[in-house]
Amino acid sequence: MRTNAFLTAGLTVLALTTGLTGIQAQATPAKKDTVQQTLDALVSDDDFPGTLAAVRDTRGRTRDYTAGVSDLDSGDRVPVNGRVRIASNTKMFTATVVLQLVGEGKISLDAPVDTYLPGLLRGDGIDGREITVRHLLQHTSGLVDYDDKFLAGGYPAVQHRHFEPRELVDAVLAEKALWAPGTKFSYSNANYVLAGLIVQKVTGRPIGEEITRRVIRKLGLRDTYWPALGDQTIHGPHPHGYFPTGAEPADVTEQDPSMGWAAGQLVGTPRDLNTFMTALLDGKLLKPAQLAEMQKTVPAPDFDLTGDATYGLGLGTFKLSCGGVAWTHGGDAPGYVTRNAVTENGKAATVVVTSNAASLEAAQDLEKALDTALCR
């Protein structure tokens, strides 16, 4: 779930100095269990317009939660299990497809990127003959991220902009590498854009199609989809997403998600994310050898706000207050921040807020809400 300062499992690292104002949010009347109270507090204390969550117990039974409003103008309620931009959670899907292809003998984890994308990765301290597929999936390639570069002019400037995947790669190749491949963890969306390009090269099919066929359909995730090229809307019931900018939060529900691509383009729901994480850890998507590779982690102190995180291949760890760790990713899109994890014994939770955090405390409270959902 990666957080640099207080945001960002992915798509955005944005300096947020303005708090949300004018929120008429009211907690949805519901049974006041601990999770509901936590969600209510995210709205009342942390100024998130809306929040939605799903908690799936070890027997597969799910409880849904919402709080706040879906639309700051109308005051409509947040749809139960509404669809949201799951952002960097997409990386779990991309990593799963890559690891399936590893299991099929079509990709080798320790092969250099050059094997699949010859000549593409060259730059200052960057050489595709030295960066392996594993380095990409583990965020140890030493490649910088492209977010800051494209967001330098503010999010509104790129909200509706289409990016070619290769444009995202170009941006990173123009910057010096952070360090030699394999040295240490540094989160970069470029790693997963490259993983997407590798999948396309190996399968001959678009990454969105491979994710759809190999993961979404395989698990029957009916509320999860790869947005078509240029599609800026969210299909089906969904809360509006807000971006704290200026005096009024901006409604950023409609946006071009191509800046995320294989690193963050998917739309999904809390329930579907729980189903996916549970199935993944149950071995329903990967062979044991590849699942084990996915769970081999390196220290990733800036992946979350606790500083205790580690990161495997498209999967991180989240230290629980009740002991042990859960497997997680999380994602930050403009307007939607998702925190989600599954415990070793198969309990899964996903909590979404419909605005980027306006303060460090708010971001920490969201992480705590996930902890509450898994530990209570």
Partner 1 sequence: MPTRRPLARIGVTSLAVLASFSIACSPLAEGAENSTTGSAMKDGLHQLTTDAGFPAALGSIRDSNGKTRDYVSGYGDLKDKTKVPVDGQVRIASASKMFTSTVVLQLVGEGRISLDAPVEQYLPGLVRGDGIDGRDITVHQLLQHTSGLPDYTQIALDFLKIQHTYMEPRELLDIALAQKAVFAPGTSWRYSNTNYILLGLITQKVTGRPIGEEITQRVIKRADLRHTYWPGVGEQKIRDDHPHAYTSADDTHPHVDITDMDPSWGWSAGQMVSTPSDVNKFLAALMGGTLLKPAQLDQMKSAIDAPGFPPNWQYGLGLMKITLSCGDVVYGHGGDIPGTETRDAITADGTAVTISVTALPTQKQGESQPMPVDKVLDDVLCS
- Give the nearest distance from C-beta 210 to partner 1 in angstroms: 9
Q: Out of 45, 76, 209, 344, name the contact with partner 1 by CB under 8 A.
A: 209
- Give the nearest distance from C-beta 212 to partner 1 in angstroms: 9
- Give the nearest distance from C-beta 204 to partner 1 in angstroms: 4
Contact 252, 243 (CB under 8 A): yes
Q: Distance (Å, rounded) from C-alpha 279 to C-alpha 129?
A: 34
Contact 46, 52 (CB under 8 A): no
- Give the nearest distance from C-beta 34 to partner 1 in angstroms: 44
Is residue 330 involved in binding partner 1 (CB under 8 A)?
no
Is residue 217 involved in binding partner 1 (CB under 8 A)?
no
Is residue 204 involved in binding partner 1 (CB under 8 A)?
yes
Instruction: Please choose, out of 23-31, 104-112, 145-153, 157-165, the segment that lies near partner 1 by the rule CB under 8 A.
Output: 157-165
Is residue 160 involved in binding partner 1 (CB under 8 A)?
yes
Is residue 340 involved in binding partner 1 (CB under 8 A)?
no
Is residue 222 involved in binding partner 1 (CB under 8 A)?
no
Q: Out of 66, 100, 141, 200, name the contact with partner 1 by CB under 8 A.
A: 200
- Give the nearest distance from C-beta 156 to partner 1 in angstroms: 12
Instruction: Please choose, out of 38-46, 80-88, 201-209, 357-365, the segment that lies near partner 1 by the rule CB under 8 A.
Output: 201-209
Nearer to partner 1, 71 or 167 (CB): 167
- Give the nearest distance from C-beta 243 to partner 1 in angstroms: 18
Instruction: Please choose, out of 68-76, 81-89, 199-207, 294-302, the segment that lies near partner 1 by the rule CB under 8 A.
Output: 199-207
Q: Out of 179, 229, 248, 298, name the contact with partner 1 by CB under 8 A.
A: 229
Is residue 361 involved in binding partner 1 (CB under 8 A)?
no
Q: Can you give the three-state secondary structure of the chain, one letter per residue? A: CCCECCECCECCCCCCCCCCCCCCCCCCCCCCCHHHHHHHHHHHCCCCCEEEEEEECCCCCEEEEEEEECCCCCCCECCCCCCEECHHHHHHHHHHHHHHHHHCCCCCCCCEHHHCCCCCCEECCEECCCCEHHHHHHCCCCCCCCHHHHCCCCHHHCCCCCCCHHHHHHHHHCCCCCCCCCCCCCCCHHHHHHHHHHHHHHHCCCHHHHHHHHHHHHHCCCCCECCCCCCCCCCCCCCCCEECCCCCCEECCCCCHHHCHHHCCCEECHHHHHHHHHHHHCCCCCCHHHHHHHCCCEECCCCCCCCCCEECCCCEEEECCCCCEEEECCEEECCEEEEEEEECCCCEEEEEECECCCCHHHHHHHHHHHHHHHHC
Nearest residue to 65 (alpha-carbon basis) of 339, 371, 351: 351
- Give the nearest distance from C-beta 181 to partner 1 in angstroms: 23
Q: Out of 122, 161, 217, 222, name the contact with partner 1 by CB under 8 A.
A: 161
Q: Out of 60, 154, 220, 230, name the contact with partner 1 by CB under 8 A.
A: 230
Q: Distance (Å, rounded) from C-alpha 268 to C-alpha 82?
A: 8
Q: Out of 110, 228, 323, 345, name the contact with partner 1 by CB under 8 A.
A: 228
Nearer to partner 1, 200 or 354 (CB): 200
- Give the nearest distance from C-beta 332 to partner 1 in angstroms: 22
Is residue 152 involved in binding partner 1 (CB under 8 A)?
no
Contact 221, 275 (CB under 8 A): yes
Is residue 264 involved in binding partner 1 (CB under 8 A)?
no
Instruction: Please choose, out of 53-61, 163-171, 176-184, 301-309, the segment that lies near partner 1 by the rule CB under 8 A.
Output: 163-171
What does the longest C-alpha to C-alpha distance in the chain come to? 58
Tokens standing for residue 268: 């999904």
Q: What are the angstrom distances between the C-alpha of 253 and each of 221, 232, 336?
A: 22, 8, 9
Q: Report the site for partner 1 in 28-87 (rule: CB under 8 A).
A: none
Q: Out of 45, 57, 164, 248, name the contact with partner 1 by CB under 8 A.
A: 164
Instruction: Give contact residues for partner 1 (rule: CB under 8 A).
Output: 160-162, 164-166, 170, 197, 200, 204-206, 208-209, 228-230, 256
